[in-house]
């Protein structure tokens, strides 16, 4: 618990600092006087005043931060009236406010670039069995094929293969793919994309056309104490080698067999540090979504064959920019689907979820923690750009109206919309906290 809290507070502190530094730097560039730069809220624990008379403050509650700019005219005769935020042109105000979220994206790109340069663990480009009638199946790809190059461009990881194929499948040209099968024999496969009609606007183009990542191997992630699996002797970290007559099942197959065999004996084979063990257990019934299914009290995870990939400086920046933009747009799409009801609001996570994930990734190593920081930084950037009053995006919305009309929105309009924004934020925060506690109590 202590380690999780420390990981969470460090993450929030770093992300908030970079966000507020964006506002700070933009304001300083525009000549705006900064009165206070605070990390956290509430009682001041420590502070320092610099030569520009800016207070740098560390406060008691580390769940956010803020910068306080000079808003109107100052009582001090030494202060320049033009150094206030409100005296700036609408374009400068837009720049200052937007700099916070933009700095979150820049920070994510920096983190991802560092990871790409130092080397990241990624799934190897190993194919699963392609579904019949897909392009991959018709072209002759087989389960276990390792993609080595595409159009003579070396492929190092699954991400490389997926991105390259998604880019080329609708090109109406021949794609030359070099693979090595599961027995170590190499062969070349030509994909004639002119034979197929592929919509370039679709998501996951390569995967939808049969190029699927090998399922990897299933391991027991956790065992519920005193439940069926625990009593039978299954332990965290066990490799599942078989269940019934299925060898090396993926998590979906394993779960389906358990759920479909209430009250019936099932033999499960596991590998525990090189030792082969077979256990027989009987799933008990459990009600999920008003449906009775089998249950033994385990969580399954998939571990893929991994490789360490290092990129050049320019490649690292390119991959970082691609990841940041793709993640931001995916986050926006998810929000849109929540608004339209296509995705459940149960997916909204709050501070407890963030803390839990921060602790988990930190335990897995520094690179995982940095990767999670990059993801959260992107999420914060997108969230702050939403046109909700009280957020940066709400103020940017006001400034856009001012630019279009030629004069600011009225105080009354701002007051009404900010009350609405506060109400929306309270609803979102309540949902996030409810989901957090629900996960703790019921999962």
Half-sphere exposure of 157 (CA within 13 A, CB side): 17
* Active-site residue (options: 20, 78, 152, 164): 20
d(CA 83, CA 72): 9
Active site residue 301: no
Backbone angles phi, psi at 277, to 5 degrees: -130, 140
Q: Is the dihedral of CA 99, 100, 105, 111 positive or negative?
A: positive
The residues, ordered by sequence, that sit 6+ positions from 254 with a Cβ below 8 Å of its Cβ are 218, 240, 243, 246, 300
Distances (CA, A) of 438 to 346, 349, 350, 353, 443: 9, 11, 11, 11, 8
- By the 8 A CB rule, do 47 and 56 touch? yes
Backbone conformation region of residue 229, classed left if phi is above 0, alpha if psi is from -120 to 50, else beta:
alpha
Class of residue 42 by CB neighbours under 10 A (exposed 0-12, middle 13-18, buried 19+): exposed
Q: Is 170 helix (H, G, I), strand (E, B) or coil?
A: coil
CA nearest 111: which of 330, 312, 378?
Answer: 378
Which of the residues are catalytic? 20
């Amino acid at each position: 618990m202590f380690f999780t809290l420390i990981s969470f507070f460090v993450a929030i502190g770093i992300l908030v600092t970079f966000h507020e530094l964006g506002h700070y730097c933009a304001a300083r560039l525009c000549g705006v006087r900064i009165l206070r730069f605070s990390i956290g809220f509430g009682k001041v624990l420590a502070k320092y005043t610099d030569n520009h008379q800016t207070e740098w403050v560390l406060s008691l509650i580390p769940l956010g931060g803020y910068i306080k700019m000079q808003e109107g005219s100052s009582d001090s005769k030494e202060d320049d009236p033009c150094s206030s935020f409100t005296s700036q042109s609408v374009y400068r105000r837009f720049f200052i406010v937007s700099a916070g979220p933009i700095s979150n994206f820049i920070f994510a790109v920096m983190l991802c670039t560092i990871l790409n340069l130092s080397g990241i663990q990624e799934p190897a480009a190993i194919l699963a069995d392609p579904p019949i009638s897909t392009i991959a199946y018709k072209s002759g790809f087989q389960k276990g094929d390792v993609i080595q190059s595409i159009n003579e461009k070396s492929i190092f990881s699954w991400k490389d293969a997926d991105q390259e194929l998604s880019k080329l499948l609708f090109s109406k040209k021949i794609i030359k793919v070099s693979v090595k099968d599961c027995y170590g024999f190499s062969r070349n496969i030509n994909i004639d994309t002119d034979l197929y009609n592929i919509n370039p606007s679709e998501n996951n183009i390569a995967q939808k056309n049969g190029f699927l990542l090998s399922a990897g191997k299933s391991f027991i992630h956790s065992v519920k104490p005193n439940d069926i699996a625990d009593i039978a002797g299954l332990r965290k970290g066990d490799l599942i080698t078989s269940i019934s007559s299925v060898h090396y099942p993926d998590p979906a197959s394993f779960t389906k067999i358990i759920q479909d065999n209430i009250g019936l004996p099932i033999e499960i084979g596991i590998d525990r540090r090189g030792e082969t063990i077979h256990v027989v257990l009987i799933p008990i019934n459990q009600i999920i979504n008003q449906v009775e299914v089998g249950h033994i009290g385990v969580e399954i995870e998939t571990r893929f064959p991994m490789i360490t990939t290092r990129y050049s400086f320019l490649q690292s920046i390119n991959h970082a920019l691609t990841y940041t933009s793709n993640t931001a747009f995916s986050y926006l799409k998810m929000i849109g689907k929540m608004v339209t009801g296509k995705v459940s609001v149960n997916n909204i996570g709050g501070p407890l979820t963030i803390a839990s994930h921060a602790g988990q990734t930190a335990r897995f190593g520094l690179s995982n923690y940095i990767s999670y920081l990059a993801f959260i930084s992107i999420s914060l950037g997108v969230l702050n750009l939403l046109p909700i009053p009280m957020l940066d995006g709400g103020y940017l919305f006001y400034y856009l109206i001012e630019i279009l009309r030629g004069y600011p929105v009225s105080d009354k309009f701002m007051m009404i919309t900010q009350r609405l924004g506060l109400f929306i934020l309270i609803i979102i925060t309540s949902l996030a906290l409810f989901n957090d506690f629900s996960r703790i109590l019921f999962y």
